[in-house]
Amino acid sequence: MMKIHLGLQRIIVLILAFVVPACSPGVTSTPALTPITVQLSWFHQAEFAGFYAADQLGYFREEGLQVSFVEGGPEVDFIAPVVNGTAQFGVAQPPNLILARADGKPVRTIAIIYRRSPIVFFSHADLGITRPQDFVGKKIRSAITLDLTLRATMARLGIQPDQYEIVYLPGDVSLFASREVPVWVGFINVIALDVQRAGYEINIIYPDDYGIHFYGDVLITTDDLIAQNPDLVRRFTRAVLRGWTNAQENPETIGKFVQKYNADADETLENARMIASLPLVNTGEDYIGWMKPEVWAVMEQTLREQGVLSQALDVEQVYTTQFLEEIYKK
Amino acid sequence: VKLTPRLTLIFILYAAALLSVVGVLAYSNGREALRSATISELSATAIEKQAALSEWVERKQLGIALLAAEPATIDSAAALIGAPPGSAEKQGAHDKFVRQIQPRVDGGEFMTIMLIDPETGEVIAATDPSEEGKFKEDRPFFISGKLGPYVQNVYYALALQGPAMTAAAPLKGPDGRALGVLAGRINLEEMNSIINRRSGLRETDDAFLVNTSNFFVTQPYLVADPAVLKREVHTEAVNRCLAQSSGTLEADDYRGIPALVVYRWLPEQKLCLLAKMDQTEAYAPARAFGGAVAAISALALLVAAVLAVALARSLTRPILALQDGVARFGRGELDTKLPETARDELGALAHEFNKMAASLLEKDAELRAYAGTLEQKVQERTKQLQESHAQLLRAEQIGQIGSWEWNIPEDHVVWSDGLYQVFGLKPQAFGATSGAYLKQVHPQDREFVQQSVGKALLERGTFEYESRIIRPNEQIRTIFTRGELLLDQDGEPARMIAVVLDTTQRQQALQALRESEERYRSLFENMLSGYAYCQMLFEDGKPHDFIYLEINKAFAKLTGLNDVTGKRVSEVIPGVQESNPELFQIYGRVAQTGEPESFETHIPSLGIWFSISVYSPKQDYFVAVFDNITERKHAEEALRLENERFVRFVDSNIVGIAIAEADGRIALANDYYLNILGVNRQDFLDDKVDWRKFTPPEWLLADEKALRELGERGICEPYEKEYVRADGTRVPVYIADAMLPGPEEQIAAFILDISARKRAEADILRITEELRRSNAELEQFAYVASHDLQEPLRMVASYTKLLQKRYQGRLDADADEFIHYVVDGATRMQQLINSLLDYSRVGTRGRDFVSTPSEKIIQEALANLEVAIEESGAKITCDLLPTVSADATQLTQLFQNLIGNAIRFRSEKPPEIHISAAHRDDNWLFSVRDNGIGMESQYFDRIFVIFQRLHTRAEYAGTGIGLAICKKIVERHGGRIWVESELDKGSTFFFTLPVQGRVDIRMIKGN
């Protein structure tokens, strides 16, 4: 009895010796932390919940990382900062990434965040627009991140680009309400959700129903970083996946996290965005963040068929499953 | 104290130990039995649900397979697939197929049934029309359903935003060819009701399914909100189950309440089945039983405790009584009696003790009585003395008074207690001689004190003086001393007695008063406000004049008036009664009523504005405190004027003016602007107007650009945009903004309604277009007319010439003359028509403009005119000429006509013609100057009109079209032509051509 007791005491002392200084609020500069910058693809919102959770819950710190985020926006090229090294990691859309790679930029995906694409088409329910064929002759609201999905869907159905008109508008509920542009492309958990919360009845059309099976947000970095510091990439990816797992399990905590980065964010709205994105992140197959090479192949083929990608690209250049395999082996 | 509880405790502990062992054993046995029973119950439920679920899924699979095998289904599907696309036949076959499968949906077996193209995965027909046209090419139910009957387990359907399950089977034609895949979406409500089926015997038992995404697939019984189906669940049981294991667990359920859970992993369905019951309910009987055991034990323990206390008491009570009695005696309670109730040894002991105590008590009483009287007397005397001394001391303290008495022959001084306090000394700190006394006095006052006392000694009188003393803590105090000399029987000084009063505080108060007065005097003299103390003079009870009694320095400085004290105001400021009657009314009122007043006034003779406060220190007197506020008044006036200008500027309504903020608020707007927006002023004042709402979406970008420019430069370039009013009409405006200074970041906007201009522009465009068309038509007409007229005319001319040739001189003279006229007329008409054709061709047959050096063109023209030049002996000179963009043929004709005219209209002198060019305002200005006959200015315009001539044909040949063609050529090139001339002094023709490309530097120098 006595021996065990002493042993326990020693363990507790040891634990305190390591844990207490790390937790102590007086210690602000821990020299061991590596500074990391992440380029987001849009403004701060629940779309990036897992990153915020990893930051707020100390997962990055536990991996020895000090992470800061750079907002994206409608006119922000979110791949360039990763290529030129201003940011070590970024969030991107697969079509943009594939095009960047085809353009010789050494970037690749290390994990998938939205394993189902959040991009949908929607319109006022009373307009009776129920399928992409109904878009012919109409104006369609789009944005850089959404364009390729729209074009791919239309091309898949044999509808020519001159049969519809793309209009670039901000994602503003009042613009949708004005009915100037009848068809909108947007994220199901962002503008489509805003519109529904504002009380508008809408018809939603899913590109997935028309043969377009794209991944949504993906996590990217450069070939250089993977080659030179695979350990850093692994630690960062591991913390991000932990963050997303936690966000999935506790969606009601996300609104508060978002407010740490964007004080104007509406907590209930951000929580609702997170809840709407649960099935996009967790599909019930494999693990959070996992990817399948065949989906990449299909995306590449789709982009080629519609003429967005002029030459065939070896899709293995676009992603690596190395880190997901290492992380989930344990 | 010790014995009773110890005995009691031992009894109780024994009883408690016995009872708890029995109780715990009974409770744990009961609980374990309940746990096993509950787990069995939950396991049975889970097994039953699993079996029911498998059976249900198989039924669904069979259902779709049977439907796919029905000949009617196959026939209608084959008809649909065989029909040519887009035909009415196809539509009919489609409707027939849907009617064929519809009963299965109406009967509730499936929610939707669809026929899918086996090649492309496209839905060809479906009971839900919105499914038609969608592609299912990657769905497992399609891929596996092609091969044989298949049920795709619960999956998350994106379009349904929730769980779904689909059964599918291949649809094969009679020849075995795959016609399609028949798929039916299963109603999960049925599964829900299978899983939710409950015995009803329990309150908190629940069963539900969770899929591999941790989503609830069936509604848990204890959660009413269907939104739970869109949420993940991460309880311990779910996590273990999704790790593909089965078992039981005591853990918190999805509501965070402790429960007993049985979980089963269903590998076929890839689902997790959970059955649970709250621990509170499962263990309720055990708890009830435990409660009963505890209650009985507690009761038994209570009885045991009472018995234990009683037993211990009976043993220890007599011993305790003896102990208590002895202890009380020891504390002095000598009348204590011990109980002698017991007849044992304790009783005898008590009896002897009581006897001893009684005799001791007696002696003690006698002693006490004697000591009491003695002590009382001593106390009374002491008290009287103390009171008397204290009274004296208190009196001295209150008055801060002391006294001393000096025995002069012995030089011994006696001080009262109060004096020690005045001097801040303890009695022993004083030497008790007159020398020692002097030591306490302030060194500067010692001599004076000695003199005062010495004088009293010499004069045998009294003395009094005020002096300073120094206390041991170095504090300086002022004291007042008054004393008297007492003489002995021989008349010699014997004693001196004095009373001393501490007057420090009074002295300090006096000093403070003096300082205060000085301060106020200094304030009075130095204050920046003017001050005048005056007496009001009344005449017939009305204020009439006043006299200055006292003024300060600022008075003179502010008013410029000097030496006014004692003078009347009517004397100091003549005419003030007339110019400022209010001054007298106010001063008079204040002087009489005593109510202070403030006012502002302007005194014209001084040219100064004053702000004046008046009060009255006593009846008929007043004090005026005033400031010169002339500058402030001027500033106020300037501000008012500025404001009026601004208001006029805005309200002139020559242009719309608004001051707005980026968030859409409008702080200020004039009528012009509100009229543009079509809003009335009331709505604007009620803050109902947001400028951004009046901009239609297509102009938002223009606004954004302007706002960005504003942010960068503070102003933005004027731009055009449109507003859309509430009634939908649009107003074109011309708008410019400027950022205003200030923290609100307001924007001043100047808006011009350009509807009228826009309409005018549209009108001009329309008219220009009409003109252009009409011109073109005219040209075409002229061309056609002249071209078509040529043919008949040529015939007339040819035959009349033939007539002339054959019959000249063979008819009479008149006939010859008439024929001559006909020939001449026809020839002229031919010339005219040719000219007209040339003229119309300038517009219709022109060539493209090419870059051509002017010299080359002039050489060409001169070559064409070679004969005329030679005949007339004309001398033609040129300056340096530019390269121009022109139709070279037409330009040659232009120069040819101008030079030709110069030769033709020559005077008697040999013609001299000079051609030059200069660069003027983006144009080349060419001139052709001659020394010919010239013309009067009234003809300057006429000569360019077609067929207009200044001279008869007899004087100068020509059709009168040359200059008209010149004008048309120049205008076609975008230039202008005119002439400057004087009769008999030659003419200069000017024309312009637009500059093309860079200008040769030599050309500029040349000018």
Contacts of B984 (CB under 8 A, 6+ apart): B907, B933, B934
Q: Is B243 near chain A, with CB under 8 Å?
A: no
Residue B893 to residue B965: CA distance in whole angstroms: 9
How many angstroms separate the CA of residue B149 from the nearest CA in chain A? 22
Residue A326 to residue A323: CA distance in whole angstroms: 5
Question: Contacts of residue B271 in chain A, CB cutoff 8 Å?
Answer: none
Question: Contacts of residue B232 in chain A, CB cutoff 8 Å?
Answer: 248-249, 251, 278, 282
Q: How far is CA B223 from the centre of its chain?
A: 41
Place A25 in a pLDDT band, splitting at 50, 70 and 90: very low
The DSSP output letter for A8 is H
Place A19 in a pLDDT band, splitting at 50, 70 and 90: very low
Question: Contacts of residue B705 in chain A, CB cutoff 8 Å?
Answer: none
Number of H helices, E strands in chain B: 28, 31
Query: Tens of pLDDT along B92-147?
Result: 888 899 988 888 888 888 889 999 998 888 999 999 888 888 998 888 899 888 88
CB burial of A123-134 (b: ≥16 within 10 Å; e: otherwise) equals bbeeeebbbbeb
Quick one: closest CA in B to A294, which residue?
Answer: B138
pTM score of the predicted model: 0.46
Interface contact A211-B137, CB threshold 8 A: yes
* Residues A179, A125 contacting (CB under 8 angstroms): no
- Say yes or no to pLDDT of A20 above 50: no
Contacts of B821 (CB under 8 A, 6+ apart): none
| Helix/strand/coil for B484 | strand
Q: Which residue shows structure tokens 């402030």?
A: B632
Question: Contacts of residue B230 in chain A, CB cutoff 8 Å?
Answer: 275, 278-279
Section B855-867 average pLDDT: 89
Contacts 24+ apart (CB under 8 A), B583-586: B584/B543, B584/B544, B584/B545, B584/B546, B585/B543, B586/B614
H/E stretch holding B517: helix B504-526
Q: How many CB atoms lie within 10 A of CB B598?
A: 12
What's the pLDDT at A87?
Answer: 93
Place B997 in a pLDDT band, splitting at 50, 70 and 90: low
The DSSP output letter for B135 is B
Contacts 24+ apart (CB under 8 A), B458-464: B460/B485, B460/B487, B460/B493, B461/B485
Q: Which residue shows structure tokens 């001559």?
A: B820
Give me chain B's average pLDDT, please.
85
Quick one: closest CA in B to A281, which residue?
Answer: B213
Interface contact B231-A251, CB threshold 8 A: yes
Query: Tens of pLDDT along B654-673?
Result: 889 988 887 778 888 888 88
Instruction: Kindly write down the DSSP assignment for every residue of B941-1004, as one continuous string.
Output: TGGGSTT--SS-TTTS-S-S-HHHHHHHHHHHTT--EEEEE-TTS-EEEEEEEE--SPPPHHHH
From residue A173, how far is each of A194, B256, B427, B874, B982 by CA, in Å? 7, 38, 97, 84, 77
Section B521-549 average pLDDT: 88
Measured over all CA atoms, what is the biggest interatomic distance in chain A, rounded to whole angstroms?
85
Interface contact A284-B212, CB threshold 8 A: yes
Quick one: closest CA in B to A134, which residue?
Answer: B133
Q: Is B693 near chain A, with CB under 8 Å?
A: no
Residue A94 to residue A319: CA distance in whole angstroms: 10
Interface contact B159-A211, CB threshold 8 A: no
Q: Which residue shows structure tokens 């400022």?
A: B580
* Residues B114, B126 contacting (CB under 8 angstroms): yes
Interface contact A130-B121, CB threshold 8 A: no
Query: Tens of pLDDT along B463-490?
Result: 888 888 888 888 888 898 988 888 888 8
Identify which of A131, A180, A213 has the shortest CB distance to residue B133: A131
Q: Higher model confidence: residue B884 or residue B360? A: B884
Section B384-402 average pLDDT: 78
Identify which of B138, B159, B212 has the shortest CB distance to residue A206: B159
- Say yes or no to pLDDT of A40 above 50: yes
Interface contact A284-B215, CB threshold 8 A: yes
Section B208-227 average pLDDT: 82
Identify which of B121, B134, B697 has the shortest CB distance to residue A175: B697
Query: Under an 8 Å CB criterion, which residues of A touch B?
Result: 116, 130-131, 133, 169, 175, 178, 180, 204, 206, 208-211, 213, 248-249, 251, 275, 278-279, 282-285
What's the pLDDT at A31?
Answer: 56
Q: How many CB atoms lie within 10 A of CB A224?
A: 12
Query: Tens of pLDDT along A101-140?
Result: 998 999 999 999 999 889 999 999 999 898 999 999 999 9
| Helix/strand/coil for B14 | helix
Query: Tens of pLDDT along B764-810?
Result: 999 999 988 888 888 778 777 777 777 888 888 888 888 888 888 88
- Say yes or no to pLDDT of A249 above 60: yes
Nearest to B257 by CA among B276, B242, B238, B231: B276
Place B822 in a pLDDT band, splitting at 50, 70 and 90: confident
Interface contact A211-B215, CB threshold 8 A: no
User: In B223-262, where does DSSP find H-type helix?
Assistant: 236-242
Identify which of A180, A275, A284 has the shortest CB distance to residue B213: A284
User: In this prediction, does ipTM exceed 0.90?
Assistant: no
B160, B232, B269, B699: best to mutate for the A interface, most A CBs within 10 A: B232
Interface contact A249-B232, CB threshold 8 A: yes
For residue B283, what are its two tokens?
Answer: 């263990």
Section B277-300 average pLDDT: 83
- Say yes or no to pLDDT of A9 above 70: no
